[in-house]
Amino acid sequence: MTTVLLIDDDRNLLLTLRISLAARGYQVFTARTGAAGLRAAAARHPAVVVLDIGLPDLSGFEVLKALRGWMTAPVLVLSGRSDPRDKVEALDAGADDYLTKPFDLEELLARLRTLVRRATAAAEIAEPIVETAAFTVDLWAKKVIKNGCEVRLTPTEWSILEMLVRNRGRLVDRESLLNEVRGPSHEAATNYLRVYLAQLRHKLEDDPSHPSHLLTEAGMGYRFQQ
């Protein structure tokens, strides 16, 4: 279960987010001051932190800098401040993302999924070369080799392949893939991924009509099988 630490002095917001996140399978801890948030982070070791800038004791920037002294988990700053300078300061202090209040809950959830996914992939994949029986993916060089030759992929094809490879063996739902390649504001595109997966299979699979590595999970998403 993915653990989330919410640090915000707005009691109602904390309650709303706690209920919403828990309903989606997250384990949620909350703190209403910067000091309490730092204690909770040290005790709970959350997978991701959602941090408000305007706290009653410490500023969110101070909390962020303190967290970055020892913690590598992603931090999403959630703030009512829309001044670009605040966003720049937060990112420079170590934030991974910045979302302005009021916000759309689905966008917040999409950003959390992205942060957790990237952190998990970075921790789990130390070796950048992923080999299959049909082709080899070099994640650092952003190249795919098949039969000794580099396969030319479009930027979108690479984005989809990279996400699947970094989550190898795990189901990646269609919404997450669309968020990754088109952003959280994407419009519904039922055939979008199907077309690109067909192109990838044609380029990479030995038998595109019976793929061994780029698999479809009917009604759910896709999976990369090494």
What is the per-residue pLDDT across 169-194, written as a single tens digit (0 to 9) for each? Answer: 878 878 777 776 665 444 455 577 88
Q: Are domains 3-123 and 126-224 of this chain identical in fold?
A: no
How confident is the model at residue 18, as a pLDDT?
A: 93
> Which segments in the chain show pLDDT lower than 50?
184-187
Alpha carbon of 197 to those of 123, 145, 146, 214: distances in Å?
Answer: 26, 17, 17, 8
How confident is the model at residue 219, as a pLDDT?
A: 77
Q: What whole-number distance in Å separates Cα of residue 29 and Cα of residue 19?
A: 11
How confident is the model at residue 176, as a pLDDT?
A: 75
Whether domain 3-123 has CATH 2.60.40.1180: the reply is: no
Domain 126-224, second-level architecture: Orthogonal Bundle (1.10)
How confident is the model at residue 161, as a pLDDT?
A: 92
Domain boundaries, the chain: 3-123, 126-224
How confident is the model at residue 212, as a pLDDT?
A: 93
Alpha carbon of 210 to those of 168, 179, 194, 201, 215: distances in Å?
Answer: 19, 27, 15, 9, 9
How confident is the model at residue 128, as a pLDDT?
A: 78
Query: Quick check: pTM over 0.75?
Result: no
How confident is the model at residue 190, as a pLDDT?
A: 56
Show the DSSP H helices in 129-191 as ranges: 155-166, 174-182
Is 136:145 a contact under the CB 8 Å cutoff? yes
